[in-house]
Every structure is written in C-alpha cells, then in structure tokens.
Chain A
C-alpha cells in the first residue's frame, strides 16, 4: 500500500545548519493498517509525514502509494491520494470562509475545479448530515465563518474534510497536541470512529503514549532520523505505555554516551 524505500533527507546541506532529518527510513504499510509513529523531539517523525505528504521532495529513496511511484509528485498532486490533518488546528481550514464552503472544497480534494457552483442545495444537505455525526451542534451553523469556532471544533471539521472523499492514506500529524484535554479526547474518539468505519490506511504521529497504545495496530519508534523499534503483532498487543516510556529512557541514556561508544556497547552487550 504505502512503501517507503530508503528515504534520505538533509536540510540545508553543506551549511552549519545542516540537519540530517531522515537517514534511510524504510517502512511498508499494508492496506487498512493504522501505524502510530512516536519518537523524541527532532527524531524526524513529523519530517517523515511531510515527506509522504510532499511538503518537500526527498533526496534519495522511493515512495510508492497505492501502486504509484509518487516520489517526484508535488504536494497538491499527492493530495489526490492523501488526506491530512495538521498539528495546528488553524492550518486545516480557511478561517474567513464558511463551514459549508470549507467542506465543499474538501469534497473536491484532488479533483479538477471548474465553473460549477461550489455549493448547491444537495451538497449543503449532505454537509449538514455529515456534520451532525460530529455531535457538536455545528449543523445549524454551516454558514458561519470557520474562524469563529474553537480549535477542537476546527480540528474535528478538518478531520471530516480530510476523509470526505475516502483517501488512500490518512496522515495525522499530532493533530490533538494543541487541543485542551477534553477536545483532544473528542477528536481522538472521532478519529477512531472514522478510521474504523472507512477502514482507512493511517499514519499518525503522536506524543501521547496512551494514544499510541490505545489506537492503531502497529507502533514505530523513531530516533535521529531512523526507525529504532517497530512493534507489530503479538509484541504490539502486549505493549503498555510504561514499556514505551522505558524505551525512551533507554534512548536517553544511550544519548549521554558518545555515539561511537554507544555503537560499540550496543554491539557487544545487547
């Protein structure tokens, strides 16, 4: 389904600000699987998501999605296959435009846009019906500007927009990190429902170990631009938040040593 093959990305190469953000990441995702990516700050997890979304082109490596080689596709071309929800709740919606207009644009994700009316009675009815499933009381306010809503409401709508047309791949980039706990819970519940209902193939980045354990069927832990652990099947089923935290500790301890020494120790003792 999604196949990442030896992805390398270096930002600002040859300058003092050089960052080797992705150092040979390979991942293979089956259709309908829900992969959670965790990792320390700067481990490259969001960068990996952006590489798949096409925010930048990778230096080397190959990205295949739904049987198509999308390595050289631009961001807006990939949008045909990919639905996205950003970390910032303000990133996914156009604030001065109405709820209905925002959703009408999402209903054409990745499709050609011409001179047909953006909103008609039928589409507006459908928008109301789908918004009703959010249980936020927004179905009566579809003509209001989306900028007047709270972060949680906007994130819920962004999720609805990203999945309005069933995407081949859903990308969630810490999409509840900027929300208050109650809204975050609500959005997570909604995320779970939508992914279950449509059996969406999903890649989700999160900081919350609880979310990582509760959601998804596979956990990948990244560190320094590489995949450090890949928990699937029985191993994934056993894992608890404490286990994940222990692995973070392990990484941190290793970090305090010189990288070369760490390599040596790893090889001799582990």
Chain B
C-alpha cells in the first residue's frame, strides 16, 4: 500500500511535468528539450533557498520562476535568433547543467533537516489527527506522512490543472491554442506569434520546474542528474493520457495528462517490484514512446489498405 501511495504521489508531482510537455509538444508542436534542464533548475533553486531557510512556499515559487526564465530563453533563441527549435532547447539544457551545479554548489543537495512543503503537509496532518502516526483506510494501515503528501499533491496538481484550464479559456490562452493550431490565422488577427511562443515555452518550463521543485522536496534532495530523460517521461504520460480520454478537447487532455502520469508511474513501480532492472527504465520508457507514436499510424494502415477519398 505504501508503495502505491508513494508511486501515486510521484506520479502526481510529475503530472506537472506532463502538463508542461503537453503545452510545448501538443499545443505548439514544439519539441522542447529544455525540460531536462529546467526540471533540475526548479529543484536546485528551491533546494538552495530551503537550505538558506527561505519559507517553502517562496522557495517553490522561485523554482517555478527559474523554469519560466529558462523556457523564455529557449523561446527567444528560437524566435529572435532563428535557431532551430530542437537546438535552442539543447543549448539551454546544456547551459543549465553548469548553472545547476553553480546554484547548488555541488552535485547533490540534501534537504533532510529543512522545512519543506512536504514537512509542512506532514505537520498539518499531524495536528489534524492529534499526533497519530498511522491511519486506517479500508483495513489498511497507512502512514500519515505518506497520506498527507499524497493529499497535498492532489490538491496542488488539481489547483495547477484548474488554473491552466482557466488560462486556456481566456483571450490570451485562446490565442495561445490557436498559435499552435494555425499560426498564419492568429497572425492575421493581430497576435505576435513570437511573443506567444516565448510565453508558452516559459509557462511550460515553469510547470516543469515546479514539478522538479516539488520532487526535490518530496524525496528530500536535489540532484544535478534528476532531469535526465524527463522529456520522454512527460511525453509518455501525455500519450497515455490521450489514449485514456480519447478526445481532442483540451480540458480532457489536461485531465488525461495527469491521469497518464500517475498511471505510468504506477506501472513503473509495479514493474520494478516484479524485478525490472532499474537501469533499463529509461530504455523501456523510450521504446514505449516510440511504439506509442508509431502504433496509431500502423494500425490505421493495417485497417484500411486502400486510401479513402477525402470527404471534404
């Protein structure tokens, strides 16, 4: 049970990563590799601030801000300096590796004795339950610490998902969705596509950094390696989410990305329990994304060998 709760909590935290990847990959169709660097950036900025006894809420917001700036930089490299999108992300990601080492001062920064959002959630739960260590749920005894973090993650991800949904319903958010859909059209309606792309990538990496910040607080340390392969992880979550909801409506896709992230993390936890070698994890994730990207086309081709005439 503790395994499932732990996996769900990490899945929820990484759902913010999935939302960020959804924004860049799906809304803009922009393969943004910055994610690998900005996840760690969020974690390292939050960690160093926590070590310096900055209140956890502020430290977490600073982590979001750090990712926001990193994403904006990628957007500026791409739009203002006309660097290929993929390369812009690679440049910023590579630079961030050094930046992260400088921010933390070393490659790994433990947070075991610091006040974090995780300890805050735990304290709150303790006070509400009057000092009990365990809670019984459906006959299972569950650690209060684990439960409080899970509920905290649910609340946070729910709030962020709700805000993102609301943003997409505003004039600015609608213009952002249209930019990915048809840039020519939104330009003809007076929107600077460059500005929207910079803003969108900033927002996307802000969410990713927020995931990194929360992950560091949850696991009790920030590590310079923690972002490696996270783009693919996020993409896998988004793809699973799309399969789960099966529509193109963004409200469903946001929910789908969250569900996809949790489901993916649970599957991984179970696979590891059954003896999957952790070293193979990234390989399997990559293969999974490959299959998920290729399968729909393959299935379509197998189903209808004769191309149908376009009804339009």
- Please list the residues of chain A having a beta carbon within 8 angstroms of any beta carbon in chain B: 53, 74-77, 79-80, 84, 86, 90-97, 101-102, 104-106, 108-111, 113-119, 145, 150-151, 161-162
Contacts and interface: CB of A to CB of B under 8 A. Distances in A.
Contacts of A94: 177-178, 181-182, 185-186
Nearest to A111: B190
Contacts of B175: 105, 113
Contacts, number: 91
Given A75-B187, A92-B185, A108-B189, 12 more contacts: A74-B192, A75-B188, A76-B187, A79-B191, A95-B182, A97-B177, A104-B171, A113-B170, A114-B172, A115-B167, A118-B169, A162-B188
Contacts of B174: 97, 101, 104-105, 113, 118
B186 A145 contact: no
Residue of B171, B175, B193 contacting most chain A CB atoms (<10 Å): B171
Contacts of B173: 118
Contacts of A91: 182, 184-185
A90 B178 CA distance: 13
SS class, residues of chain B in contact with chain A = helix
A114 B170 CA distance: 7
13 contacts: A75-B188, A80-B190, A91-B182, A94-B181, A101-B174, A104-B174, A108-B171, A108-B190, A110-B189, A113-B171, A116-B170, A117-B170, A119-B169
A53 B248 CA distance: 32
Interface of B: 167, 169-175, 177-178, 181-182, 184-193, 248, 312
Contacts of A84: 188
Nearest to B170: A115
A159 B170 CA distance: 24
A3 to B, nearest CB: 22
B190 A96 contact: no
A205 B94 CA distance: 49
Nearest to A101: B174
Contacts of B169: 117-119
Contacts of A151: 312
A79 B189 contact: yes
A53 B185 contact: no
Contacts of B172: 113-115
Contacts of A161: 189
A40 to B, nearest CB: 26
Residue of B174, B184, B185, B193 contacting most chain A CB atoms (<10 Å): B185
Contacts of B192: 74, 76
A118 B190 CA distance: 16
A115 B190 contact: no
Nearest to A104: B174
Contacts of A106: 189
Nearest to B184: A91
A110 B190 contact: yes
Nearest to B250: A96
Nearest to B173: A118
A92 B178 CA distance: 11
Nearest to B182: A94
Contacts of A101: 174, 178
